[in-house]
Amino acid sequence: MQLCTFLLLSLALALCLASPMPPLDINGTEKWKDIPVINKGLNLKEGDIMVSNQKSAILGNEYRWDIPVPYTLSVNLDMNYKGVILRAFEQFRLKSCIDFKPRAAEDFYISVESREGCWSSVGRTSPGGQTLSIGNGCGIKAIVEHEFLHALGFWHEQSRYDRDDYVTIKFENIIKGKESNFNKYSENETTTQGTPYDYYSVMHYDKNAFSNGNGSTIITKLPEFQDVIGQRLDISEYDVIELNKLYKCSSSISFLDHCSFDDESLCQMSVCSAADYGWQRVKSVSGINVTDHSYLGKEQNGTSFFMHFSTEGRNEGDTARMESKTMTPKRDCKVQCLQFYYYHSGNESDQLNIWIREYQNEEDNRGTLRLMDQITEFPGNYWKLHHVSLNANKTFQVVFEARKGAGNSSGGFSLDDINISETECPHTWQIRNFSVMESSTHYSPLYYSSDGYRFQAALEVYPSFLSMYVRLVSGAYDDQLQWPCPWRQITFQILDQNPHIQKRMSSELSITTDPSTYFNGIYYWDNPQKNGTRVTIGNETVYVGLLWGYKYFIMKDDLIRREFIKGGDIIFLFNMQDISGLLQNHSLPCSKVTVKNFNISPDASAQQGPCAPRALPTPQPNSTTRTTTTSPTEG
């Protein structure tokens, strides 16, 4: 495994929850490396740009790609890196109009290979497959995004013609012979697409890039951004704006909807209730210590609202509905993920039911309701993140139905920060009142992958960094699974809790189960019941495998730069995906949504049709259409 991957032995006593022991180091105890360090000695332009035979600074319209961009994944690529590349593609699809497809017979395509270092050409340069290298140490989502942005036409942010207004280059601190890596381009050579200088750009190098050891090479004019430049979390909001302008498009491939209720239009959502009953748009709720989630922990700006349904004083069975605008799935894989925050302050018998209303055709004005999830639990009195997997095939709406249960209530349900995308839902681990100051160990709940493998994450908090590990756990389907566990990629993500999913810059790393990994006489990813340790988790006795993960998962200084901790809570997301198909192919089959069964019928009024008369869906632009070409830009 690459990038500070660590092997841990869970040496626990029987019936005790194992704690991570000091790691058996596989790849060295150093922290992750950035591109200039990985590429040291390669003598590439600006550290990671492969210069073609054409002039590389002045690029014409022919250097822009047709969308979707064709690609191939070389057989010599690390399997974990292949999965990371596909996850980077998903970020482009979520945030921008850029899509990718496995090459069919196109002359121009990107050949992703494992060469020495991380590098790419700038823009579309030559037929026959232009190489983009994701070599040893490069298998991080943000580094992959960085190199693909080069291929799409971006130069480094610090190469902009206006960079001297925002940063100072300290040439005396640059390694001798590397001064040209800090050249800037004139307005006649490149374009910024009218976007402001972006300290958060994933295309910016960090403050110590190519330093000779005498100090930083890049000094930001605004000191608060000195430790921001060079971030390797994700593409930034302005990276996306610039990319969409370059390719003259504004739509997203997989994003469907967002609402934080700050606008009176409710994001085209509709409410089925009288003015004094049902879902209400509020700033606060009398008698309940709840405020808007979007600005939680920040100074309220006067426009922060959320939706609330009070179950206080209602009769059992009383309901209120709130319905999203109609949306039409655009992708071939009919899988969607609904994400929202809710605050439950009512009775444990109150229900929040999540339905979808799917329309068969444009003439269907009633739709068919299907219950996708239900929340009924003890009130938590805090904002809690929730995901619901959807599988709409046609135009649909999401319906939030609050239903009064038995028993007294002094609160109800509150909703905020809703996001819907055509992506697969992750598992969620929300740690309350998280302290970065205290060294501690935390264990996640137990999760099942979509194909039945069970796993658990372990978080270790150190004075200056967080460590994250994972282990397999015995489960209900072990006798039906293949062992050792083959080619499942587990991704750990610390969620940037920005209200809008497209503006988040979350930190993530992945590991992949190689069934041939052998250590100390056992297969590392074998059935825990065969070689694992017997422990008790909750009220269940299980067998756990060995821990594997990242010692330097994230530095504590990085936690304060985004909304990783909000309202005192930190949230981790986990995916376990079968990537075995990448052994022979360049893409993966569609995932499947597990359908839940509930013994509940829709409210009679809900069966009659939506809250508001249905409007015909707006035709979606064809994301694969070739548009007018422009020159690659700085990024």
Strand partners, 413: 309, 344
**Residue 472 in tokens:** 């397999």
- Residues with Cβ within 8 Å of 298's Cβ and at least 6 positions away in sequence, in order, are none
**Residue 46 in tokens:** 């600006």
**Residue 465 in tokens:** 């960094």
> pLDDT tens, 483-507?
999 999 999 999 999 999 999 999 9
Q: Could you tell me the pLDDT band of residue 3, with boundaries at 50, 70 and 90?
A: very low
CA distances from 436 to 52, 444, 494 (A): 47, 17, 14
Quick check: 345 and 291 in contact, CB under 8 A? no
Rounded to the nearest 5°, which phi and psi values hold at 165?
A: -80, -15
Residue with the larger pLDDT of the pair 629 and 255? 255
- 308 has a pLDDT exceeding 90: yes
Dihedral (C-alpha) 14, 16, 17, 18: value to the nearest 10 degrees? -50
Up-side HSE of residue 159: CA atoms within 13 Å toward CB?
23
* Mean pLDDT, all residues of the chain: 89
What is the model's pLDDT at position 615?
64
Q: CATH fold of 32-254, please? A: Collagenase (Catalytic Domain) (3.40.390)
Dihedral (C-alpha) 499, 500, 502, 506: value to the nearest 10 degrees? 0
Residue with the larger pLDDT of the pair 552 and 9? 552
**What span, in angstroms and rounded, lies between the C-alpha atoms of 107 and 584?**
21
What are the counts of helices (DSSP H) followed by strands (DSSP E) for the chain?
Answer: 7, 38
* Percent with pLDDT over 70 in the chain: 89
What b/e string do you get for 43-59 counting C-beta neighbours within 10 Å, with b at 16 or more? ebbbbbbbeeeeebbeb
What is the model's pLDDT at position 1?
40
> pLDDT tens, 525-573?
999 999 999 999 999 999 999 999 999 999 998 998 899 999 999 999 9
What b/e string do you get for 332-345 counting C-beta neighbours within 10 Å, with b at 16 or more? ebebbbbbbbbbbb
- Residues with Cβ within 8 Å of 513's Cβ and at least 6 positions away in sequence, in order, are 484, 485, 486, 487, 488, 489, 490, 524, 525
Quick check: 107 and 89 in contact, CB under 8 A? no
Nearest CA to 429 out of 400, 366, 386, 475 is that of: 386
Q: Could you tell me the pLDDT band of residue 7, with boundaries at 50, 70 and 90?
A: very low
Q: Rounded to a whole number, what is the distance in angstroms from the first to the last CA of the chain? A: 30
**DSSP states of 31-48 as a string?**
PP--HHHHTTTS--BTTT
Quick check: 585 and 295 in contact, CB under 8 A? no
Handedness of CA 26, 32, 36, 37 (dihedral sign): negative
Percent helix, strand and coil across the chain, each to the nearest 5: 15, 30, 55
DSSP conformation class of 524: T
**Residue 493 in tokens:** 């993500």
**What span, in angstroms and rounded, lies between the C-alpha atoms of 239 and 635?**
6
> pLDDT tens, 248-262?
998 999 999 999 999
> pLDDT tens, 284-307?
888 888 889 999 988 766 678 999
What is the model's pLDDT at position 400?
97
- 6 has a pLDDT exceeding 50: no
**What span, in angstroms and rounded, lies between the C-alpha atoms of 86 and 577?**
11
- 19 has a pLDDT exceeding 50: no
Q: CATH classification of 5-27+428-583 is 1.10.10.10, yes or no?
A: no
What b/e string do you get for 3-34 counting C-beta neighbours within 10 Å, with b at 16 or more? bbbbbbbbeeeeeebbebeebeeeeeeeebbb
> pLDDT tens, 391-412?
999 999 999 999 999 988 889 9
Active-site residue, selected from the candidate residues 145, 147, 358, 460: 147
Q: Give the three-class secondary structure for 575.
A: strand
Q: Give the three-class secondary structure for 289.
A: strand
Amino acid at position 379, single letter: P
Q: CATH fold of 257-422, please? A: Jelly Rolls (2.60.120)
- 21 has a pLDDT exceeding 90: no
Paired sense of beta strands 383-390 and 284-285, if any: unpaired
308 assigned to a ligand binding site: no
* Percent with pLDDT over 90 in the chain: 75
Predicted structure pTM score: 0.91
Residue with the larger pLDDT of the pair 8 and 509? 509
Q: Could you tell me the pLDDT band of residue 352, with boundaries at 50, 70 and 90?
A: very high
**pLDDT, average across residues 564-591:** 97
**Residue 132 in tokens:** 């983009």
DSSP conformation class of 50: -
Give, for 283, the enclosing helix (H) or strand (E): none
What is the model's pLDDT at position 377?
94
Lowest mean pLDDT among 353-357, 380-384, 622-626: 622-626
146 assigned to a ligand binding site: yes
**pLDDT, average across residues 335-348:** 97
293 assigned to a ligand binding site: no
**Cα angle 195-197-203, degrees, rounded to a multiple of 5:** 100
Give, for 442, the enclosing helix (H) or strand (E): strand 440-443
**What span, in angstroms and rounded, lies between the C-alpha atoms of 575 and 228?**
28
**What span, in angstroms and rounded, lies between the C-alpha atoms of 7 and 124?**
41
3-state secondary structure 110-175: EEEECCCCEEECCCCCCCCCEEEEECCCCCCHHHHHHHHHHHHCEECHHHCCCHHHCEEECHHHEC
**pLDDT, average across residues 581-595:** 93
CA distances from 619 to 122, 328, 616 (A): 34, 9, 9
Active site residue 113: no
Dihedral (C-alpha) 407, 408, 409, 413: value to the nearest 10 degrees? 20
**What span, in angstroms and rounded, lies between the C-alpha atoms of 124 and 120?**
10
- 136 has a pLDDT exceeding 70: yes
Q: Could you tell me the pLDDT band of residue 272, with boundaries at 50, 70 and 90?
A: confident
**pLDDT, average across residues 250-275:** 89
Nearest CA to 232 out of 200, 196, 187, 278 is that of: 200
Residue listed under structure tokens 């490149």 = 190
Q: What does the domain layout of the chain look like in residue ranges?
A: 5-27+428-583, 32-254, 257-422
What is the model's pLDDT at position 261?
95
